[in-house]
Amino acid sequence: MLAVCLSWQLCAVENKSRSTETKLIRPNIVLLLADDLGFSDIAPYGSEINTPQLTSMAKNGVKFTNYHTAANCAPARAMLLTGVDSHRAGVPNIPEMIPAAQRYANNYQGVLSKDAVTVASLLQTAGYDTYMAGKWHLGQTSDLLPSKRGFQRTLALGDSGADNWEQKPYIPIYDKANWYADGEEYQLPEDFYSSRFLIDKTIEFIDSNSGNGKPFFAYVPFQAVHIPVQAPQAFIDNYMGTYDQGWHELRQARLARAITMGLVADTTQVLPMPTTDQWEDLSDERKRYESKRMAVYAGMIEAMDHHIGRLVNHLKQTGQYDNTLFIFTSDNGSEPSGPADPDRFINNLVMGRQGYSTDYDSLGLKGSYNSISPSFASASASPLAYFKFYVGEGGLRVPMIMAGSGIVDKGQKSDAFIHVTDITPTILKQAGIEKPSTYFGGRKIEPISGRDISLLLNNTKAEVRGEQDHDAVGYELAGNAALFLGDFKIVRHVASPGDGQWRLFNIKKDPGETSDLSKSEPKRLHRMLNLYQQYEIDNRVLPIPANYDRMRQAVVNGIQDRLAIPLLSIILLLFTVIPFYTLYRSGKNRIKNN
């Protein structure tokens, strides 16, 4: 009896020490962020695009079907990295699109506020090595670059995007592509291709500290599949002909697969989008061109997946894979800014000035500018409505996979509503780090509003939010607004093709947002509208000026950014020089008169 007791005690002590040991081993964390990737653009989410690495990741982890982010780039990145609402983090919109009428407010500067602490800062303080290679877009002055926001080693693109083959701006609002390495301006190598290079740098950073006993956090925000959509020829070739049937067929095919895979309810329908052209009306030549535009897009996604695979293999070879938590997601839904007809004179003129061609043969290769139009963007977000810049599900709902270390029930799918602000608190939980209190580094900070979703990873909880008022999640981008509560969402689009009206949808049953419930459930609508008003107050949301247009604003801001300093310099110079000239002339006249 005594022997049994003793052996039981010993076992208990051993188990306890083993469990303490397990707790002490902190996971490496790899946060992979695609750019402008639509909901059904990768194979685990019903895509025809071949993404074996992401498929394997989904099998090795949890696939979230109801993950919501921001409707455009920088606000999503700010929330992802801090767990704080974009308006409180200083990035309610990208700086390129913030109108002058809003820029007086501290929280409308479009750069990551110093009052919002990044997950990298918190991990670094807790003993992690922290790396970043990719697009930053949260501030370009020396004090705002990632090297000053918690990342030890960085290779960062400061702009909203850039060419994937060379150091070249992709739109004329930039005079150059601003890349930085460890806070200093950086010249890209000759053999640059974005996805390959960013993974190369990530591997280099990881290896530079391997063996020091510290876990690492690697943030890899890809350029893929932001415009210009570019890919190596071999990857493009894999999709030549795949899209010959057009966007309507693709949207329906992806809807069918999403239903079959259980990603959306089987009652899901797609909303006809007024921005979608009739495929049948296109000439054969245009169909051929549009099909290749989408083939390049697919090739770029497959190339990204291929390079993710290189990172995964490297971690396997170096024995770090088993202790690594992978998170893959996108900053927002698919990008609809590509022109419907890229061959129009004005597009050729603008692209020509940037040194780009839009020729069919070289589409997607070095020197070529490619994009997808709103028509294929809707297929890319299928079965959801709208796309990037809009608060329809197609703009906000994107793939999100968590895989690897710390996940017990692998290969699961979660339909819980989760938000981009949940990623930071979840990473902290997985790393065994407490959420920061009111102060960090002697500075009062914005509190994290997101929730830890770790219990979803272990299948021990179905939801992290209920239907109480405090469970509501609001969002606003340039007047387009939404609020989520339980299975429901209210949504208002002020930008064309929206009409400024609030609508109510059950996004569990109707993720395509085809059936407006605002008339049949007025009480719910009223409650959610009140909650949205409170969200605006709590997060200091400013009204958008009348007649605001995001593209026009980007052009105006771009002109101001590029010309304001030279023009102001010349005006001040004239003010300085003119008195001396006057003095000189009056002296000459005096001599003449004498």
Partner 1 sequence: MDRLLRVLVVIPAVIFILTAIRYNLDPAGTAAEFGMPLLEGLGRSTQIGNMSSFFFTAGISVLLAVSTGNHFWYYPAAMLTGLTAIFRIIAWLVHDASFAISQIAPEIIFTCLFLFAAKRFCDET
By CB under 8 A, tell whether 185 contacts partner 1. Answer: yes
Distance of alpha carbon 178 from alpha carbon 175, whole angstroms: 9
Q: Using CB under 8 A, which residues numbered 106 to 145 contact partner 1?
A: 141-143
By CB under 8 A, tell whether 584 contacts partner 1. Answer: yes
Distance of alpha carbon 414 from alpha carbon 277, whole angstroms: 34
Residue among 408 and 573 whose Cβ is closer to partner 1: 573
**Residue 409 CA: distances (Å) to CA of 319, 460, 529:** 22, 10, 38
The conformation of residue 82, written as its DSSP 8-state character, comes to H
Any catalytic annotation for residue 5?
A: no
By CB under 8 A, tell whether 10 contacts partner 1. Answer: no
Distance of alpha carbon 505 from alpha carbon 459, whole angstroms: 27
Tokens of 224: 């893929």
**Could you tell me the smallest distance in angstroms from the CB atom of residue 572 to partner 1?**
5
Any catalytic annotation for residue 226?
A: no
CA torsion, ordered 422, 428, 433, 436, to nearest 10 deg: -50
**Could you tell me the smallest distance in angstroms from the CB atom of residue 185 to partner 1?**
7
Residue 147 buriedness (CB in 10 A; 0-12 / 13-18 / 19+):
buried
Distance of alpha carbon 473 from alpha carbon 418, whole angstroms: 10
Task: Pick the stretch among 4-12, 409-417, 478-486, 574-582 that binds partner 1 (CB under 8 A).
Answer: 574-582
Among 11, 408, 551, 572, the residue binding partner 1 under the rule CB under 8 A is 572
Single out the catalytic residue among 73, 248, 419, 493.
73
Picking from 290, 287, 309, the residue whose alpha carbon sits closest to that of residue 220 is 309
By CB under 8 A, tell whether 207 contacts partner 1. Answer: no
Angle, helices 423-430 vs 73-82, to 10°: value is 30
**Could you tell me the smallest distance in angstroms from the CB atom of residue 109 to partner 1?**
16
Single out the catalytic residue among 137, 306, 307, 419.
137
Find residue 184's DSSP bridge partners: 181
In degrees and rounded to multiples of 5, residue 130 shows phi and psi of: -125, 130
Picking from 219, 177, 173, the residue whose alpha carbon sits closest to that of residue 199 is 219
Residue among 462 and 565 whose Cβ is closer to partner 1: 565
Residue among 16 and 588 whose Cβ is closer to partner 1: 588
Task: Pick the stretch among 59-67, 403-411, 493-501, 571-579 that binds partner 1 (CB under 8 A).
Answer: 571-579
Specify the DSSP element, H or E, that contains 61: strand 61-64
Task: Pick the stretch among 20-28, 48-56, 244-252, 580-588 that binds partner 1 (CB under 8 A).
Answer: 580-588
By CB under 8 A, tell whether 573 contacts partner 1. Answer: yes
Among 580, 592, 593, 594, the residue binding partner 1 under the rule CB under 8 A is 580
Please say whether the beta carbons of 513 and 507 come within 8 A. yes
**Could you tell me the smallest distance in angstroms from the CB atom of residue 161 to partner 1?**
21
Pairing of strands 153-157, 179-181: antiparallel
Per-residue interface string for the shown chain with partner 1, residues 211-250, x marking contact by CB under 8 A? ----------------------------------------
By CB under 8 A, tell whether 8 contacts partner 1. Answer: no
Interface contacts to partner 1, rule CB under 8 A: 141-143, 184-185, 565, 568-570, 572-573, 576-577, 580-581, 583-584, 587
Catalytic amino acids? 73, 137
